[in-house]
Structure 1
Amino acid sequence: MTDLLTPVLSAHWGEDKSWKLARYETNGGYRALRTALGMQPAEVVNLVKEANLRGRGGAGFPTGMKWSFVPQDNPNPKYLVVNADESEPGTCKDMPLMLATPHTLVEGVIISSYAINAHTAFIYCRGEVLHVIRRLQQAVREAYAAGYLGKNILGTGYDLDIIVHAGAGAYICGEETALLDSLEGRRGQPRLRPPFPAVAGLYASPTVINNVESIASVPAIIANGAAWFKKMGSEKSSGFTLYSLSGHVARPGQFEAPMGITMRQLLELSGGIREGHELKFFTPGGSSTPILTAEHLDLPLDYEGMAGAGTMLGTKALQVFDDTTSIVRTTLRFVEFYKHESCGKCTPCREGSWWLVQLLMKFEAGTAQEGDVDKLLDICDNIGGRSFCALADGAVACVTSAVKHFRSEFELGYHTPAWELFPYEKSALFAVQGEIR
């Protein structure tokens, strides 16, 4: 692994008017587009394959391979859809990227669309982040005016239109097929697969769906080459990525580092756990990924390292909780989110998440009964793997991993309220007479 920090996507976030086209071009913006348009589309796909860019939205599927699944002999239009519906609790990397340097994403969209022979691309963004949507729309307008979008881009004969679409704030629309239904004007609910989006996606046409960070990484790969990209990261998880640290750390924020950095190293970069406390547990990729504890501090934060620990890298949303935190309360709040955001299509998810909340509320209040921990796990067993999408699996993962690491704390819920064991005001970050605690 190279240096601890490798700022590429975040290299210019702090510059004056970093979101403007002129500033982006000064920093080398759109040079990669010119390079890509001088290549054959298949060459662009192969270069991204060679770089081993893996999806930065959660599953880590190879980006170039996903592009190659698009059947070019299909007579229907091809579409690129960027999943900018960042909703996973603790995840906050795509929004600052789009806010600070939206042209990085726009350039990535143009190159990626060219690679798969798409002439229309969509950026599906959360409707609540109006400031980000406006920033994206401004960047798209600038790109059209400069000849990077529209008809005959840079005189190459390639045409592309980008549409910035505002969603309505549904977590489920972060699931790619629910996102497609929402784009088509229907209620956002997961689709049965097959057919997969690469064959019959948006408007029943071949569609590639990628995360913001995945697409935004493409220009740097085109500009610097696959070998440069693979020098960073680990053997099977190449390149740089954005890690989001939040919670009980001295300096929370975004840390762009090579894939495979450890949590211990990230904590050192962020000033460590807040003074006077120690780490209790953390999420490696948002609340839907099984939690880890201090024994996992030296594991590489890449896809293989996390899989080996029985969890997932996910969105690299590292929520950090110190020794003042109630695991029971935290798990309840996570599951309440999934209960609220369940689209209701699948009975195990719709009903099971509700029952998980009811039971966890008893643990929090200290009114659970002997055997309720096993009942909790039994409910999880009847939810996981029994729904159309991974929302139910995420709700189950945060419960089962919490019980795995802190079963005794749940068993204390048979007689003692969680707020007596862990007074909530001690774990909260709030101001008291000007002092942050």
Structure 2
Amino acid sequence: MSKLSPVLSRAWDDPRSYTLEGYRRHDGYQAIGKALAMPPDDVIKLVKDSGLRGRGGAGFPTGMKWSFIPQGDNKPHYLVVNADESEPGTCKDIPFLMANPHELIEGIIIACYAIRADRAFIYLRGEVVHVLRRLQAAVREAYEAGYAGKNILGSGFDLEIVVHAGAGAYICGEETALLDSLEGYRGQPRLRPPFPAIEGLYASPTVVNNVESVASVPAILRNGVDWFRSFGTEKSPGFVLYSLSGHVTRPGQYEGPLGMTLRELLDLAGGVRAGHRLKFWTPGGSSTPLLTEEHLDVPLDFEGVGAAGSMLGTRALQIFDETVCVVRTVLRWSEFYKHESCGKCTPCREGTYWYVQMLQRLESGKGTDTDLEKLLDLSDNILGRAFCALGDGATSPVTSSIQYFRDEYLEHLRSGCCPFDPALSTAWAPALATTGARA
């Protein structure tokens, strides 16, 4: 489990990996021929048998999602690739698209053939103009080489690929808000049912997949189900990109099997920055409950992280050392969720507002003991009652930080200020800094 497994990242050291020629040098576009020679249902079955689970956070089986698309309904079918990567700490799709956009395009062609879709959309985060240009150039190359457009490789299969730049709203990472945005409406989540597989884009059957989910498909076609299942665990097979950021010696993307531990990844990344120790970390971005040093050996798969009380999410491993104030960190995350709430539902709109108000008081040392219970009560009124997962995600850092660092919240009240601010107090942070060992 300590070894990395470069599959999606296998060509990242090639300075021309993003070109058609560079992708072909690394087994590119070999899987299309195999897929087009199979009945579409057999392609879906192959992806099902592989156990590939969604890499966008929820971990729903990809092949099963494809199988939900009704056939023989005389409606157009669509594939929408969610590249609206906006979760704090998540930074895997953007470098992947910069280095290897053709792997995604090949996955799109296979997925569209399987679900009988003749049009695919890539919904990209609008701020990353450099990625937008590279992706558009790769799509043009695919058209010119006959991998997209009419009669792909003489198979009779037609496919149009559209690259769409969003307007930079975090809420559009939610699949139904993304669909509304793609249709030209304000990005807000839809009521479900009906689900996108029945009434998605333009009220037609639609599959919405994350970039990494679709990009993993060509390797499965090239190498087979048994090969794919040789990575990871029985219930969470395969390889993934782990994004290490924060107080780590060598931050970046580390591709390895599901089931690795943070301890193993930190060993590969040179550990927490010199002279410091791990205090807390997120397994899947800021919308997943944070974990602590005691969770270093939790297997990073869907079951292992779930059993530890958190969620694997997008494997956005944000590393924080003992110099960081957990209250201030949670406040910053809450400010983000307040700003990005679409305002459609009351629990999220009002709840994130009151999170910020109370956390600002607590962080400055002006709160009261009852504020902690108010925060937990507020979280109970958001969790499971918001229109989409943004509200649920906003509760995760609040409730988990109180669970693991209640004493730190109380120290803010006792000090009358943030004890991690050296200009205000020196009584708390130095004591933390001298305890524990480097992870």
- TM-score interval for Structure 1 and Structure 2 normalised by the shorter chain: over 0.9
CA distances 1:113-144 after superposition (whole Å, capped 9, x unpaired):
10100000000001100000111100000000
Question: How has the CA–CA distance of structure 1 residues 267 and 199 changed in structure 2, closer, same or farther, with 3 Å as cutoff?
Answer: same
Contact 2:352–2:394 (CA<8 Å) still a contact in 1?
yes
Letter of the structure 1 residue corresponding to residue 347 of structure 2:
P
Match of 1:18 in 2: 17
For structure 1, list consecutive stretches of 5 or more residues without a partner in the other structure: 428-437
1:52-89 Cα deviation digits (max 9, x unpaired): 00000000000000000000122110000000000000
Aligned partner of 1:4 in structure 2 is: 3
In 2, the alpha carbon distance for the partners of 1:304 and 1:262 equals 13
How far apart are 1:411 and its partner, in Å? 1.3
Instruction: Please give the per-residue CA displacement for 1:147-196, whole angstroms capped at 9, x wherever unaligned.
Output: 00000000000000000000000000000000000000000000000000
Structure 1 residue 369, shift from structure 2 partner: 1.2
Alignment of 1:50 with 2:43, yes or no, is no
Q: Give the Cα separation in 1 of the matches to 2:6 and 2:422.
A: 39
User: In the aligned structure 1, how far is the partner of 2:369 from the partner of 2:88?
Assistant: 31
TM-superposition CA deviations, 1:99-122 (whole Å, max 9, x none) = 001000000000111010000000
Partner of 2:149: 150
CA distance in 1: counterparts of 2:201 and 2:70, whole angstroms: 14
1:409 maps to 408
Residue 73 (structure 2) aligns with: 74
Instruction: Give me the whole-angstrom Cα distance separating, in 1, the residues matched to 2:416 and 2:19.
Output: 53
Q: How many angstroms apart in 2 are the aligned matches of 1:225 and 1:422?
A: 55
* Cα deviation, residue 45, structure 1: 0.4
Q: TM-score, normalised by structure 1?
A: 0.96
Aligned pairs for 1:171-250 within 5 A: 171-250=170-249
- Provide, for residues 33-58 of structure 1, a one-character-per-residue CA deviation record: whole Å limited to 9, x for no partner: 11111111011100000000000000
Query: Could you say which residue in structure 1 is the equivalent of 2:364?
Result: 365
How far has the Cα of 1:23 moved from its partner?
A: 1.1
Measured after TM superposition, the shift of residue 421 of structure 1 is 3.0
Match of 1:432 in 2: none
State the identity %.
Answer: 65
1:30 maps to: 29
Amino acid across the alignment from 1:121: A
SS of alignment partner, residue 47 of structure 1? helix
Q: Which amino acid aligns with 2:30?
A: R
> Which residue number corresponds to residue 63 of structure 1?
62
- Residues 130 and 424 (structure 1 numbering): CA distance in 2 closer, same or farther, change over 3 Å? farther
How far the C-alpha of 1:384 sits from its partner, in A, is 1.1
8 Å Cα contact 1:325/1:424 also seen in 2: no
Aligned partner of residue 199 in structure 1, secondary structure: coil
Closer, same or farther in 2 for the Cα pair 1:23/1:421, shift >3 Å? closer
Match in the other structure for 1:430: none
Report the RMSD for the aligned CA atoms in angstroms.
Answer: 1.4
Amino acid at match of 1:372: D
3-state SS, counterpart of residue 18 of structure 1: coil
Paired with 2:19 and 2:64, the residues of 1 have a C-alpha distance of 32
What CA distance in whole angstroms lies between the structure 2 residues aligned with 1:108 and 1:417? 55
| Correspondence for 2:433 | none
Partner of 1:434: none
Distance (Å, rounded) in 2 between the aligned partners of 1:18 and 1:251: 23
Q: 1:362/1:256 Cα in 2 relative to 1: closer, same or farther (>3 Å)?
A: same
- How far, CA to CA, are the matches of 2:48 and 2:13 in structure 1? 31
Q: Which runs of 5+ in 2 are unaligned?
A: 430-439
Residue aligning to 1:311? 310
| 1:166 aligned partner | 165
SS of equivalent residue, structure 2 residue 245: strand
Q: Secondary structure at the match of 2:209?
A: strand
Per the TM alignment, residue 416 of structure 1 is displaced from its structure 2 partner at its CA by 2.4
1:374 aligns with 373
Q: 1:161 to 1:423 in 2, by over 3 A?
A: farther
Tell me the distance in 1 between the aligned counterparts of 2:49 and 2:391: 34
Deviation, structure 1 residue 199:
0.4
Per the alignment, in what secondary structure is the counterpart of residue 162 of structure 1? Answer: strand
Aligned counterparts of 1:241 and 1:146: Cα–Cα separation in 2: 29
Q: Which amino acid aligns with 2:289?
A: P
Alignment partner, residue 390 of structure 1: 389
8 A Cα contact 1:367 1:416, kept in partner:
no
Separation in structure 1 between the aligned mates of residue 348 and residue 26 of structure 2, nearest angstrom = 47
Alignment-derived partner of residue 111 in structure 1: 110
Q: 1:16 to 1:358 in 2, by over 3 A?
A: same
Is the 1:326–1:418 contact (alpha carbons within 8 Å) kept by the matching residues of 2?
no
Q: 2: distance between equivalents of 1:386 and 1:418?
A: 34
Contact (CA 8 Å) 2:362, 2:412: kept in 1 or not? Answer: yes
Aligned counterpart, 2:420: 421
Aligned to 1:258: 257
Paired amino acid for 1:297: L
**Larger mean Cα displacement after TM superposition, 367-376 or 156-165:** 367-376
SS of 1:420's equivalent in the other structure is: coil
2:282 equivalent in structure 1: 283
Paired residue secondary structure (1:421): coil
